[in-house]
Each structure stands twice: as C-alpha cells, then as structure tokens.
Structure 1
Amino acid sequence: MASEQTIQEIEETLGQVPGFLELPAEPASDHSWAIFRDLVLGETELSPREKALVGVTAAAVMNCPYCTYFHTEEARLADVTEDELEETVTVASNTQYFSTLLHGNEYDHDEFVTETDEIFEYIREQEAAAGDD
C-alpha cells in the first residue's frame, strides 16, 4: 500500500483513491502514483489533449477496456470531439494492421527504413516546392 502522504495526495488530486492505484505492491506503489501524476496529470512537453490521444491510441491497440475507458474520458475532458476519437482509433488500427503485415511477412527492416526515408524526403521536397510558389 502507498504511504500515507501519497494516499493523501491522491485523494486531494482525484477526490478518492481508486482501486487501481492500490494494486501495485511495495515498493512500487508510491512510484506508480508519481509516474501517473507526473506523466498523465503533470505539465510535460505534450498537452493534456495530446496525452489523451496517445492514451486512446495505446489503449485501442492493446485492446484494454480499462485503458480505453479511462483515456477516452480523459480525451473528452480535454475537448477531443467524438469524430477525433473515431479518427484516432482508426489511425491506431491502421498502424496495427500494417505492423501485422510487416511482421507476419518478415519484411526486411533495412529496406523498410530506406523506403520510408525516401518517401519522407520526397514529401519534404514537394512541400518545399509548394511553399516556393
């Protein structure tokens, strides 16, 4: 169980100590809260909106109903629209689809990197040319 100080901080932050934050065994309990607090709730390089969309994406790919519910509500709190949530999950499924194809077919990683670099170089050139117009 988390230290009394951590329990008090969780209650002040979330209004309660949810059961999932009681799951980590010692000595991970205080650290687990700190990671959650600092990454999910804290001020970081990503905005709350961006973090919520990352969470929705990860949850969808992992097929985790707990994470999906939590991060979907987090996203709604950050003013993500239902259309944006649908698109986020669709992009995640597209990534998972192609990952399955690449891994299942044992596609050569070096070839993939080379092709990807060429694609993005081409796109950058096209964007630069469009900006010159």
Structure 2
Amino acid sequence: MVSTQTEAEIEEYLGQVPSWLELLSEAAGDHSWGIVRDLELEETELPPREKALVALGAAAAMNCPYCVHFHREEAKLEDVTETELAEATNLAATVRYFSTVLHGSEADLDEFKRETSEIVEYIEEQQATAAGD
C-alpha cells in the first residue's frame, strides 16, 4: 500500500497504479516505490537499456515470471532485440549454472579469487599487446 501522494506520482510515471502495489505493507510502500523510481526510472550511471538487460538477467536467474515479463517489455522499450533478450537470458543462465557448480562443489573462494586475478592480468596484457600493434 502506498500513500495518496505516491499513488499520484506512480500514475504520472506509469499511467496507472499497478494493483500489485497493494500487496506492499504500508511501512514499505512509499519507500519501495522510491527505490524503483530512483534506481530504475531516473537517470543513473547506467543507461536505461543496460538497466533493462541487467534486470532481465536477474529476473531470469531468479525464475520470476512476473519480473521476466516486466523487464522483457521494459527492454523492448529500449529497442533491445529478441536476439539480445535471448543472449541476456543465456548469460544469466550461465552465471547461475557455474554458481551452482562452485557452491555445490564447495570450491575454495580464495583460490577462485587468485585465479580470477591471474586471468584478468593475462587478459589485460593481451589487450595491451593488441593495442600496441
């Protein structure tokens, strides 16, 4: 539930107040809208197109049909193609897959971080060499 003032603001942004906002407790309503407004709808460091793709990836990884639907539509508003939507979803699946493998195997986090640092260093060297050609 959101306050009357917040309802007016939501309607200004979205053209309506979605019914699911009634599911929020009174204590969380206005604050929750503020997070969505400030992070997803307002200008931030990430452009809207990138935000939509990140949100879709997170939604897909969480297996949330509500969020997937919303963020797919949001991405389409930003001219994201079906191919790009599929790639974002596949990337999310890949991250979730390897996270499951690492967690389930109880991989050593310190070793993982050390190896990641070595990989990043190697790639940076390769990029510097290619830039110098």
Q: Place the TM-score, normalised by the shorter chain, in its bin.
A: over 0.9
Per the alignment, residue 121 of structure 1 pairs with 121
Quick one: which amino acid aligns to residue 88 of structure 2? T
Q: Which runs of 4+ in 1 moved over 3 A?
A: none
Deviation at residue 110 of structure 1 after TM alignment: 0.4
Quick one: which amino acid aligns to residue 109 of structure 2? H
Q: 1:57, 1:79 → 2: CA distance?
A: 16
Deviation at residue 5 of structure 1 after TM alignment: 0.8
Q: Helix, strand or coil: the match of 2:23?
A: coil
Deviation at residue 127 of structure 1 after TM alignment: 0.5
Deviation at residue 20 of structure 1 after TM alignment: 1.9
Deviation at residue 40 of structure 1 after TM alignment: 1.1
Per the alignment, residue 96 of structure 2 pairs with 96
Question: Cα deviations across residues 71-121 of structure 1 (Å, max 9, x unaligned)?
Answer: 000000011111000011111111111111100000000000000000010
Quick one: which amino acid aligns to residue 65 of structure 1? P
Q: Helix, strand or coil: the match of 1:80?
A: coil
Per the alignment, residue 72 of structure 1 pairs with 72
Superposed CA RMSD in Å reads: 0.8
Per the alignment, residue 57 of structure 1 pairs with 57
Deviation at residue 39 of structure 1 after TM alignment: 1.0
Per the alignment, residue 111 of structure 2 pairs with 111
Task: Extract unaligned runs of 5+ from structure 1.
Answer: none
Structure 2 length-normalised TM:
0.97
Q: 1:92, 1:12 → 2: CA distance?
A: 32
Number of equivalenced pairs: 133
Question: What is the aligned-residue identity percentage?
Answer: 64
Structure 1 length-normalised TM:
0.97
Deviation at residue 21 of structure 1 after TM alignment: 1.8
Q: 1:94, 1:105 → 2: CA distance?
A: 16
